[in-house]
Chains A and B, each alone.
Chain A
Amino acid sequence: MSSLINIGYLVASVLFILGLKGLTHPRTAVRGNLLGAVGMLLAVLLTLTNQQIISYEWIILGLIIGGAIGAVSAIKIEMTSMPELVAVFNGFGGIASVLVAGAALLENTMGAEVPMMQLTIAIAASGLIGAVTFWGSLVAFGKLKGLIGDNAILFGGQQIINAVLAAAVLALSCWVVIDPASGVAFWLLVGVASVLGVLLVIPVGGADMPVVVALLNSYSGLAAAATGFVLSNNVLIITGSLVGASGLILTQIMCKAMNRSLTNVLFGVLAPVGDGGPTADEVYGGKVKSTSPEEVAILFETARRVCIIPGYGMAVSQAQHPVASLAALLESRGTKVEYGVHPVAGRMPGHMNVLLAEADVPYEALRDMDETNEDIDQVDVALVIGANDVVNPVARTDPNSAIAGMPIIDVDKAKTVVIIKRSLSPGFAGIPNPLFALDNSLMLFGDGKKAVLDMIAALKDN
């Protein structure tokens, strides 16, 4: 029987791998996700046939409560709040690992037998990673939702405190391994790891959130893999490592897209702003031209090709639907419209793409940074909505700037650039953006959604 179950788990693992493979293209992605869900159902059903299980009431109660909460939140969530939801789900995966490890420790220390060392190591790892994931995710959730300050919170001695906590966590892990029968050690470990989880995410600023969400995703996978070692269960090990790898790759991609190292992001260190960098007045003084929705509409009338560059500001003002309507209107007039999406635009990897897909923008129109830059010089109007640092040409031109070397979308090379923005205030990097003062740039000051709606109205009037 047990080998039959294990073969079933193997099938589930294969389904997970095929499911992830399906995600490599929008056409096969829905089916891929479904394959993953079938794999999960299979794994759960097989587990229910395990002979260790003597009572089902509690399991079923737990499945119903969890299923209901999960389903309701999945149906109700707004697409703009997706980063928060993913963060909190990550955390739940982490806490589940802690609880399972805690239960396994109790089960294995009840008898006279001393549990094997590899088991206690796995239990300690599972509790440690799970607790860091849970609390780190809760802080990320709070930051994304605006409950905790969005900014990097830094205080003196932070690194020293973290180092002390990390040492304490290691020492407690050793205690769990050496003396598993003392339950205190495990829960102390979980407690200290929780504090560490909070402190690791607290110093991270809002614009760095994509990195943290991706990293926590990776942790939740590693926590599941550690639980797999606790239970000697291959399906957990395989699945956990797949997710761990996935999160790690996304973390890497995000760091690269910001030209930051992971350590810099985690410790809230921005590249030092070069002394004597130009002030806002020097950059903008008398050179910024502001425009009106009507003028932009006239520009659009003669444009053959328009590229829209969305940023977090588009999500904040919920402008994705008007943006899509504007694009549809332009297309109906024979203008080619495409979207240039920077990898770190928004608060999680791929955030802008989901918002635009929600507004019925076909995925063929969503182009990544490299594709966009290839022929941006042939774009008649580049429309920047709520993005700033990711279109700052200083990254390319000034090696001393805070964002030097960060890959950007080269909108300054388009024939005309229209930037919708509330004011000339700097982005996360805190530096002025000479793009706004270029000869081919026009600023449209105001709220993103309103500005786009006004453009649509002006286009229809003409």
Chain B
Amino acid sequence: MEMFIMGLTIFVLAIFVGFEIITKIPPTLHTPLMSGSNAISGITVVGAVLSSGSQHTMTTTILGVLAVVFATINVVGGFMVTNRMLAMFKKKS
């Protein structure tokens, strides 16, 4: 139970941190914000790697590998496309 309360504390505090940072992001950057935050939500890849590597049963391995594929698309695609977009935002030359 302690673990859970600990997790909950972190969850709530991180939401407040998120609110503080995100409200400062200008509308111009809202699309890259979405794709970028989307990429970091692919952090599930950490769990996916554990499930596919610990090989408890065939089924957990298959579920894990599929999860790795989906989460990695999310992560790699998300960061790359965000980078591509942000590189286009230029100052007046």
Contact = CB atoms under 8 A, between A and B. Distances in A.
A421 to B, nearest CB: 24
Given A40-B39, A47-B46, A229 B70 contact: no
A219 B31 CA distance: 17
A397 interface: no
B69 to A, nearest CB: 4
A416 interface: no
6 contacts: A20-B40, A40-B39, A74-B81, A97-B44, A247-B34, A350-B29
A71 B65 contact: no
A74 B67 CA distance: 19
A20 B36 contact: yes
Interface of A: 16-17, 19-21, 23-27, 29-30, 32-34, 36-37, 39-40, 43-44, 47-48, 50, 52-56, 58-59, 61-63, 65-67, 69-71, 73-75, 77, 79, 82, 85-86, 89-90, 92-93, 95-97, 99-100, 102-104, 106-107, 110, 116, 118, 213-214, 217, 220-221, 223-225, 227-247, 249-250, 253, 341, 343, 348-351, 353-354, 357-358, 360, 362-366, 368
A116 B1 CA distance: 9
Nearest to A183: B59
B47 A350 contact: no
Contacts of A90: 38, 41, 74
Contacts of A36: 36, 39-40, 79
Nearest to A106: B60
Contact of B63 (A82, A103, A232, A351): A103
Contacts of B25: 20, 23-24
Interface string B7-48: 100111011111101111111111111111111111111111
Contacts of B63: 99-100, 102-103, 106
B33 to A, nearest CB: 5
Residue in A63, A66, A238, A240 whose Cβ sees the most chain B Cβ within 10 Å: A66
B7 A232 contact: yes
A243 B80 CA distance: 18
Interface of B: 1, 3-4, 7, 10-12, 14-19, 21-57, 59-61, 63-93
A115 to B, nearest CB: 13
A221 B41 contact: yes
Contact of B15 (A30, A93, A234, A244): A244
B83 A20 contact: no
A96 B70 contact: yes
Q: Which 8 A-B pairs have the closest CB atoms?
A: A66-B72, A245-B18, A350-B30, A70-B77, A62-B68, A53-B53, A70-B76, A74-B80
A294 B33 CA distance: 40
Given A53-B53, A92-B71, A23 B7 contact: no
Given A96-B45, A250-B33, A30 B64 contact: no
A67 B63 CA distance: 18
B81 to A, nearest CB: 4
Given A44-B45, A237-B14, A249 B61 contact: no
A236 B43 CA distance: 6
B46 A235 contact: yes
A232 to B, nearest CB: 5
B40 A239 contact: yes
A82 B59 CA distance: 35
Contacts of B80: 70-71, 74-75
Contacts of A67: 72-73, 76
Nearest to A361: B90
B56 A106 contact: yes
Nearest to B51: A103
Given A62-B48, A227-B47, A362 B66 contact: no
